[in-house]
């Protein structure tokens, strides 16, 4: 795969990269847009369901209040309670009394029922059949026993999802509040049934809204559905029971609670309203998978359109890239000519002001420079041959000078001029050290030996004497340094520090070892420098201040600094400290070498 990509032409790579970037951008943009569309649809559906349940809550509260008020009115009717008591004790009324009760009390209760359209009916049931039935309000005990809820009458409370079994033959579903009627003297004397159609209390169970299914879940586990198919009931029953259980457990203050949430796995909205007085939860499940599928279809259309656009864009981009890279391929053709050996070829577009013109210009300048370097290399080889000849000549001259100095030394010893003999010996060693340049680095001990010979000769020039004090450890003497590192510093100390005071003095050389580093300090008791002179010298050593020709310009120390850093790195080099009319100290920092002199010679 990598080899296939590497082998592609540049225009194909650029087109491919552009298409990948465009595809990624469109993918990210489309993903964000359609994700937000889907989330917006979900939020709107949740909000709508929440507000719908709140409206249903107000309607249900009103219906419950209507049932409670009707029941309370029946409970407080003294005449009807008297009828129930007489039925319980076996006492009877005359026909005239029955007519009066029917025309006054029963008629009033019937008007109450008729004025409240949501109430399906309200009835008294006597404990015995020893009562004259007055429809639709008063019924005897045999009628009670025909009702589905007869066995639960003594417990009282709310009864759901039952049918009328006395007169009606239709299948309308009812719910009712069953209230036992007790007398202080006679005990249980009857029951009151205040009923309402489930359709009126829970309209959502019977509303055929697309995608929505509602049910009422009682705390005892009973689940009541409206006009929905068994398959729809099975689909929502588990989720409805779960939510009803959560709401019933959360209810602790008697308040009606509503909870609405989105179930992503099933793509539906479920909303529950716990009704404390009814001891149950109204649950509605709205399937919004159709709306989400619409968003997904829109996303698919977007992806199809995006693919068509990307294909068209790829064609256009490839064409434009070929146009732009035509001049690049011209430059590439020139470079191939150069590779074949033709250095006289040149590109033609260097006069243009854009990047390709700049590339053409630089390629031509590079070819010009290559030709110049090739010519310089030829000239350098010629000079190298000349240098070899001159080196051979210098070697011959050095031998001649050594032989002459040796003859002078012998003449001085014959004449017992031992000072002259020693001076000639030191000069010979000095010349031999200077002319012998077989390696770039030497041991500190070799450099110190050279300095001793240099000091022996320099003291011949002055009426005063310059002493050399050495305090170097054995390991420091065995460290490698670039040749002619210490001598220029000693020479600077004499020329610029000691000659001006012209009196006996000492140059101190000592070593300080610190872990993997070694510092060699060269200190003279000369005139020192003022602050301005010291800053100028430090600037010259660091290269921040240019060094000119002549004496005292710091070029010797700058050369030492450069050679140390070329050899060991930027961490190492020299530092200068001084006190005017007192001393000057130069510190040379070098790395400690692990190789000993004997080991080096063996290598």
Question: Are 594 and 479 within 8 A, CB to CB?
Answer: no
- Judged by DSSP in three states, 272 sits in strand
Q: How far apart are CA 202 and CA 211, in angstroms?
A: 18
Q: What is the DSSP letter of 497?
A: I
Q: How far apart are CA 566 and CA 559, in angstroms?
A: 10
pLDDT of 396 higher than 50: no
- Mean pLDDT for the stretch of residues 18-30: 87
- Judged by DSSP in three states, 259 sits in strand
Q: How far apart are CA 422 and CA 434, in angstroms?
A: 18
Mean pLDDT check: name the lowest of 81-85, 317-321, 355-359, 536-540: 355-359
**SS3 letters for 453-471?**
HHHHHHCCCCCCCEEEEEE
* 522 band by pLDDT with thresholds 50, 70 and 90: very high
Query: What's the pLDDT at 387?
Result: 46
Question: Are 237 and 215 within 8 A, CB to CB?
Answer: yes
Query: What's the pLDDT at 319?
Result: 82
Could you tell me which of 221, 298, 272 has the C-alpha nearest to residue 37? 298
Query: What's the pLDDT at 159?
Result: 93
* 6 band by pLDDT with thresholds 50, 70 and 90: low
- Mean pLDDT for the stretch of residues 302-329: 82
pLDDT of 12 higher than 60: yes
- Mean pLDDT for the stretch of residues 493-519: 89
Q: Where in the chain is the domain with CATH 3.30.565.10?
A: 440-602
pLDDT of 279 higher than 80: yes
* 414 band by pLDDT with thresholds 50, 70 and 90: confident
- Mean pLDDT for the stretch of residues 584-594: 87
Residues 220-271: pLDDT tens digits?
A: 889 999 888 888 888 888 989 998 888 888 765 444 578 899 988 888 999 9
- Mean pLDDT for the stretch of residues 122-135: 91
pLDDT of 573 higher than 60: yes
Q: Which residue has the higher pLDDT, 126 or 235?
A: 126
Query: What's the pLDDT at 406?
Result: 62
Q: How far apart are CA 318 and CA 325, in angstroms?
A: 10
Could you tell me which of 232, 187, 181 has the C-alpha nearest to residue 205? 232
pLDDT of 391 higher than 60: no
Q: Which residue has the higher pLDDT, 134 or 350?
A: 134
pLDDT of 56 higher than 80: yes
Using CA atoms, how far residue 250 sits from 74, 244, 273, 276, 277, in Å, is: 35, 10, 12, 11, 15
Mean pLDDT check: name the lowest of 365-374, 378-387, 580-589: 378-387
Neighbouring CB atoms inside 10 A of 349's CB total 19
- Mean pLDDT for the stretch of residues 90-114: 90
Q: How far apart are CA 83 and CA 582, in angstroms?
A: 136
Mean pLDDT check: name the lowest of 36-50, 448-462, 521-535: 448-462
Integer-rounded Cα Rg, in Å, for the chain is: 58
* 70 band by pLDDT with thresholds 50, 70 and 90: very high
pLDDT of 404 higher than 70: no
Question: Looking at the domain 440-602, which fold is it?
Answer: Heat Shock Protein 90 (3.30.565)
pLDDT of 195 higher than 90: yes
- Mean pLDDT for the stretch of residues 81-86: 92
- Mean pLDDT for the stretch of residues 7-19: 77
Query: What's the pLDDT at 496?
Result: 85
* Mean pLDDT (the chain, rounded): 82
Mean pLDDT check: name the lowest of 45-49, 123-127, 387-391, 594-598: 594-598
Percent of the chain having pLDDT more than 70?
A: 83
Query: What's the pLDDT at 550?
Result: 45
Question: Are 434 and 449 within 8 A, CB to CB?
Answer: no
pLDDT of 536 higher than 70: yes
Could you tell me which of 544, 530, 526, 443 has the C-alpha nearest to residue 490? 526
Q: Which residue has the higher pLDDT, 441 or 392?
A: 441
- Mean pLDDT for the stretch of residues 488-512: 88
Considering 177-191, 333-347, 535-549, the range whose residues carry the highest mean pLDDT is: 177-191
Question: Are 131 and 138 within 8 A, CB to CB?
Answer: yes
pLDDT of 420 higher than 80: no
Q: Which residue has the higher pLDDT, 547 or 331?
A: 331
Query: What's the pLDDT at 598?
Result: 40
pTM: 0.52
Residues 281-307: pLDDT tens digits?
A: 999 999 998 888 898 899 899 989 988
- Mean pLDDT for the stretch of residues 439-466: 83
Could you tell me which of 502, 512, 536 has the C-alpha nearest to residue 588? 512
* 3 band by pLDDT with thresholds 50, 70 and 90: low
- Mean pLDDT for the stretch of residues 157-180: 85
Could you tell me which of 95, 99, 84 has the C-alpha nearest to residue 130? 84
Q: Which residue has the higher pLDDT, 46 or 602?
A: 46
Q: Are strands 583-591 and 257-263 parallel, antiparallel or unpaired?
A: unpaired
Q: Which residue has the higher pLDDT, 74 or 257?
A: 74
pLDDT of 596 higher than 50: no
Q: How far apart are CA 74 and CA 97, in angstroms?
A: 20
pLDDT of 354 higher than 60: yes
Scanning 495-577, the segments in alpha helix (DSSP H) are 531-542, 555-568
């Amino acid at each position: 795969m990598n080899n296939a990509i590497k082998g592609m032409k540049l225009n194909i790579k650029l087109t491919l990269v552009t298409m990948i970037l465009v595809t990624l951008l469109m993918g990210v943009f489309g993903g964000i847009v359609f994700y937000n569309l889907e989330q917006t649809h979900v939020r709107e559906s949740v909000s709508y369901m929440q507000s719908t349940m709140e409206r249903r809550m107000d309607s249900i509260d009103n219906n419950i209040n209507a049932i409670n008020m009707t029941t309370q009115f029946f409970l407080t009717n003294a005449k009807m309670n008297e009828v129930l008591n007489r039925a319980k004790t076996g006492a009877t009324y005359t026909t005239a009394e029955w007519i009066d009760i029917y025309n006054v009390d029963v008629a009033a209760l019937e008007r109450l029922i008729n004025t409240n359209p949501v109430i399906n009916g309200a009835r008294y049931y006597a404990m015995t059949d020893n009562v004259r039935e007055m429809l639709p309000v008063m019924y005897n005990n045999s009628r009670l026993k025909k009702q589905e809820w007869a066995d639960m009458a003594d417990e009282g409370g709310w009864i759901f999802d039952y049918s009328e079994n006395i007169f009606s033959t239709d299948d309308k579903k009812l719910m009712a509040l069953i209230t036992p009627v007790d007398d202080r003297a006679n005990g249980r004397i009857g029951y009151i049934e205040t009923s309402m159609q489930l359709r009126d209390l829970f309209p959502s169970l019977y509303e055929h809204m697309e995608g929505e299914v509602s049910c009422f879940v009682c705390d005892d586990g009973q689940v009541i559905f409206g006009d929905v198919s068994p398959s729809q009931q099975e689909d929502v029953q588990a989720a409805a029971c779960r939510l009803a259980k959560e709401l019933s457990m959360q209810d602790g203050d008697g308040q009606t609670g509503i909870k609405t949430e989105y179930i992503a796995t099933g793509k539906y909205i479920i909303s529950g309203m716990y009704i404390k007085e009814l001891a149950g939860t109204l649950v509605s499940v709205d399937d919004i998978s159709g709306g989400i599928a619409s968003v997904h279809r829109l996303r698919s259309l977007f992806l199809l359109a995006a693919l068509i656009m990307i294909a068209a864009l790829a064609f256009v981009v490839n064409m434009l890239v070929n146009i732009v890279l035509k001049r690049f391929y011209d430059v590439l053709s020139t470079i191939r000519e150069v590779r074949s050996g033709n250095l006289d070829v040149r590109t033609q577009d260097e006069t243009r002001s854009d990047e390709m013109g700049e590339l053409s210009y630089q390629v031509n300048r590079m070819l010009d420079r290559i030709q110049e370097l090739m010519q310089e290399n030829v000239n350098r080889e010629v000079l190298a041959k000349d240098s070899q000849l001159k080196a051979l000549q210098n070697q011959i001259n050095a031998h001649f000078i050594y032989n002459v100095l040796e003859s002078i030394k012998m003449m001085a010893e014959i004449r017992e001029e031992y000072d002259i003999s020693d001076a000639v010996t030191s000069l010979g060693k000095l010349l031999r050290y200077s002319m012998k340049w077989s390696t770039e680095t030497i041991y500190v001990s070799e450099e110190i030996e050279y300095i001793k010979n240099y000091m022996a000769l320099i003291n011949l020039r002055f009426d005063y004497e310059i002493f050399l004090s050495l305090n170097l450890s054995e390991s420091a003497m065995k460290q490698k340094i670039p040749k002619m590192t210490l001598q220029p510093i000693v020479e600077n100390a004499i020329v610029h520090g000691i000659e001006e005071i012209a009196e006996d003095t000492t140059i101190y050389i000592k070593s300080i070892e610190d872990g993997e580093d070694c510092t060699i300090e060269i200190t003279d008791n000369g005139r020192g420098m003022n602050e301005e002179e010291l800053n100028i010298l430090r600037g010259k050593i660091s290269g921040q201040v240019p060094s000119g020709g002549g004496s005292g310009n710091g070029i010797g120390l700058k050369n030492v600094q450069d050679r140390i850093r070329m050899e060991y790195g930027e961490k190492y080099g020299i530092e200068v400290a001084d006190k005017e009319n007192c001393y000057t100290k130069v510190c040379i920092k070098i790395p400690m070498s692990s190789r000993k002199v004997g080991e080096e010679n063996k290598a």
